[in-house]
Structure 1
C-alpha cells in the first residue's frame, strides 16, 4: 500500500487548506464548483488511466496499491485530480488580498 501512503499527505494538505477558507466569502459556491470539477476530472482520470494501463504504458505492482480499482486504475490515482479540484481554488482564495473578496 505504498501509493496510499504517498497520496495521504496531499489529501491532508488539501483538506487543511480548503478548511482554512471556510470563513471566506462564497465558500459554498466554491465547494460546489470544486465538486463539479472533481467529478469531471475523476471521469477523465478513469477513462485515460484505464486506456493507458490497458495499452501497457504502465502497471502498478499489486503489493503497492490498496487493491481497490476503478476498472484497471487503482483508486489511489484519483486522489491527485480530487486534490487539484479543491486545493487550487482554496489556494487562490487564500492568496488574494482581503479587499478583493
Structure 2
C-alpha cells in the first residue's frame, strides 16, 4: 500500500489518488455512507451516486467511485469497504479520517 498523508480538508482527489494507487479499477466496494459536496469535474457522476444511495448502501467498482469523487472540494463523510475483504475500509467522518485500513492481499 502507498502510505497516504491526509491533509485538511480531505478532497475527493486525495481519496481518488489513494484508491487508484492501491486498488485495481475493477475492484468492488460497498459504499455504506457518503456526504460529499459536488465539484465541477464530478457533478454528474456524484449526483448519480447520490441517487443510487437514496435506497441505502450501494456497490460500485473503484473506477466508478473515483469518477464520482474526482474534483470534490471536500469529503465530509465516506464509509467504504472492499467487497472481497470487509477489513479493508476507509471511513471519513466530519472531514477527518477515523479508520483507514487499505492493506489487502
User: Structures share a fold, TM > 0.5?
Assistant: no
Relative to its length, the structure with more strand (as a share) is 2
Greater radius of gyration (CA): 1
TM-score of the superposition, structure 2-length normalised?
0.29
Structure possessing the higher relative contact order (Cα contacts under 8 Å, 6 or more residues apart): 1
TM-score of the superposition, structure 1-length normalised?
0.30
Relative to its length, the structure with more helix (as a share) is 1
